[in-house]
Amino acid sequence: LPEPGTVEFKDVTFGYPGAEAPVLSNISFTAKPGQTTAIIGSTGAGKTTLLNLIPRLYDATEGEILIGGVPLKELGREAISQNISAVPQRPYLFSGTIESNLRFGAQDAEEEELWEALRIAQADGFVSEREGQLESKISQGGTNVSGGQRQRLCIARALAAKPKTYLFDDSFSALDVSTDAKLRAALVEPTKDAAVIIVAQRVSTITDADQILVLDHGEIVARGTHEELLESSETYQEIVTS
């Protein structure tokens, strides 16, 4: 059996209910623990849709998705939520405290572990400056923190859960380039045994990924490392120079 956390797509096709054309066609790849798999492609290419199939927000129309060698449909909701942390493209905070938001998926974490997750996510600074710190109130939807702070709190929440698989949907886009770089450097150690899948807009976010999938109109049109794709893929070259 593949290692726990491994994500396998086998010839996956998906169309939204009621839509005529599929949004994803014949997607096959393996994201292994200890590796970063990046997905890049223009807006509407199907990147979010692809990620959302992994925690079963939708089910594949054709083909199969397996986690650690087990088909998603046999895994059950509980195993999926315990093993996968997803940071969505529009990260969401609940009304409550920073602590209650971080504990979603990490109920038993020590307070020190929450701070560690905040440090990695480059969020410890602004949290420690807020009155009440971990007890500081978050309004519904997180409207009383900035977009970049919301994104970092959601990354900290994902880290606190210590999953085997991480899904980051454009999670670094609201960060300036220097915070983005610091955060990704800090992520290396805590995610080193996990499968990490990153959807990115900026090529600089993914140049060191173990494999990059180039998605175009719902199909993987090229795959490889940054250096390989610079040589082989016109679509990738266009993304790099755009």
Q: 138 has which bridge partners?
A: 96
Burial class (CB in 10 A: 0-12, 13-18, 19+), 60: buried
Question: How far apart are the C-alpha atoms of 25 and 95, rounded to whole Å?
Answer: 38
Amino acid at 96: G
* Minimal distance, residue 47 CB to Mg ion, in Å: 5
Per CB under 5 A, the list member of 6, 25, 48, 205 interacting with Mg ion is 48
> What distance in Å separates the CA atoms of residue 64 and residue 195, rounded to the nearest whole number?
18
Pairing status of strand 195-199 against strand 36-40: parallel
The residue type at 33: P
CA dihedral 76, 142, 112, 126 (to 10 degrees): 150
Binding site for ligand M5T (CB under 6 A): 16, 19, 23, 41, 43-49, 89
Mark the segment that binds Mg ion (CB under 5 A) among 83-91, 123-131, 142-150, 152-160: 83-91
Q: How far is the CB of 75 from ligand M5T (least distance, A)?
A: 23
Query: Which of ligand M5T, Mg ion, none lies near 211, with the C-beta cut-off 5 to 8 A by kind?
Result: none
By C-beta, is 30 or 173 nearer to ligand M5T?
Answer: 173
Contact partner, 45, from ligand M5T, Mg ion, none, Cβ < 5-8 Å per class: ligand M5T
Least distance from Mg ion to the Cβ atom of residue 52, Å: 9
Judged by the rule CB under 5 A, the positions of this chain that interact with Mg ion are 47-48, 89
